[in-house]
Structure 1
Amino acid sequence: MKHLNIYKVAESSRIPINEDVVISTHLQKKSQSSKNILTIRCKELKDLIDIYNSIVDKYQELMFKMPSNCFPPSFPKSFSSFRESFENFVRTIEAYIFQIKSKEGSAENYKRKNIIMIIDQSCSLSEKLTLFMKEAQSFNETGMGEITKTIDFSFQKLFKTNTSINTAIKNEKIVNQEMVSKGLDLYRNTYKAFKLCKDFFSSQKKDNNENSAREFNIEDLKIALSLVNTDGFHLLTKKVPTSLTNKGDIVEMRSAFSTNCGYIGSLVEVAAIFNESLEAIIMNLTNLTKLFNDVIYQCNIPTKVEINQLLLQQLA
């Protein structure tokens, strides 16, 4: 993610910067091993940037584990447009605030130009903010359904592969009881993971109390999924039934175990934070709008940033 350099305009105009006010915040990238530092030297924008960072953090925390088939492309697209518009607006506001504090003779002319730019950019930001709010609200309503749908589909593939392996084991000319036992273990662990997922989604229902929601332990699910993946791999590597002679089919079944076990584990982690993350994003977009307008009002600029409720209804 690129740095938000909000001093470029100010520095090129030789505007004095208050060096005594330095606020560092962090933006989490999709790669959890690295972060970008957003440095703000204007105390008037501290609270605004803090809320913006919290929106970005929640968004990236959610999208980091979300498979691309579980969200509409319009959601990340609207976020990118909102982010670009926000950062452009912040650059202009920052430069304007420094100009107000400046004692240079040319400051008044520069200030008038910046006011015009701020008014234009506030209209663009309002539009991008409304679109992102609409996408967040829509995703909040439909996203969990896509998550459960993908999990169910992944379990269907696991059970289908289970059936193929166990059928092949039973069709051996000489039935190997050890292989029969391992095939049954594979099925039991798959069913255990399936039951744990069902228990998890039951615990997430709003009419459930907090104690029942705490009963689910995602580590139990991870262990069950790991056993499914390991059992399936061994049965298709060391103890391959003779009726499974097509190498392409064997590779496809191995892939079914690793891919779908990974999908399920990742999606359950996403589901655990999904509603909280989307609701936090929606709430903070409203708070961001209010704080932005407070800054604009204090600067005596005749404009405001707003979420267009009428447009939200039309887009719904």
Structure 2
Amino acid sequence: MTTAGGVGEEAELRAWWRTWLGAVPDPGGTFAVGDAVPDGRGVRRHTVRLGSYGSVLEAALVAPDRPGRLPVVVVPFYEVATVLGERTERTRGWSDARLRSCSYGRHLVDRGFAVLAVPWWFEQVAGPADATASLHERYGPPAARHHASLPMTGLGRSVADLLLAVDALASVPWIEAARIGAFGHSLGAKLVLHLAALDVRVRAAVAHEAGLGFAHSNWSDPWYLGSHVPAGRDQDQLLRLMGRRPFLLAGGGDSDGRHNEELVARAREGAPGVRTLYHDNGHPPPDHVLAACYAWLAAQLERNAHP
């Protein structure tokens, strides 16, 4: 997708996916980046309020408290707190080790990145996080309310929220726009796959255990696509939209691994920047895999650093 025809084809394909998903930011959407609140330990935090399709999402922009422009990584997840190593009702039964392992935003801030942690709308409006509640019990009712009031897919709504979040980042003077990355695991990886494919402002991305391919994860759940899974297409097209932008698909053999490698191979025909990292340790990423993902992302974004 490097020739004039290829660029046109890429734009057409990106527009198709945006339209099919309904991944279009709210025309009346708003954002507001709050003042910095230092934590006294070398980190500052800004609340970022996103007004999107009748709801307000409170994201958090967290960064090392030092002067100068910084690279930033968008980290979508169920809620902001977990990404930053803080407990929630959903994580109250987790061990300290598990919470530390899922503190992706904190890990990245410790490595010198700014992080925009963005919550998932469906978690914000879901029922109580009872340990016995199934995903359909928690997220099915919000999905039904969504479909009763808005035309886009649940996944499209979530991606639209992230597109608005990147708009908010673009307004922050100390963020280096040429070094916007994205990182996600599981749900977060699904969202990162779509955000990076559909927004060229994301210069590099890592998705761990996204479940690439409609046959390889729960894409037909109502909070994602429901019955709106496209016929005759698959998600190798999303990877192709990365073009030469770097994208790392990491998998533990559960959602991603050798079983969907054919989709990756097809995508690489138009996206030479796509790489894989397979570790065969299952769905949760081990610490050494996270470290490798962070190092890879840092190296890719460093290539866009201003001298």
Q: Same fold (TM over 0.5)?
A: no
| Structure of greater Rg | 1
TM-score by length of 2: 0.25
Q: RCO (CA 8 Å, sep 6+): is it higher in 1 or 2?
A: 1
TM-score by length of 1: 0.24
Compare the two structures and name the one with the higher strand fraction.
2
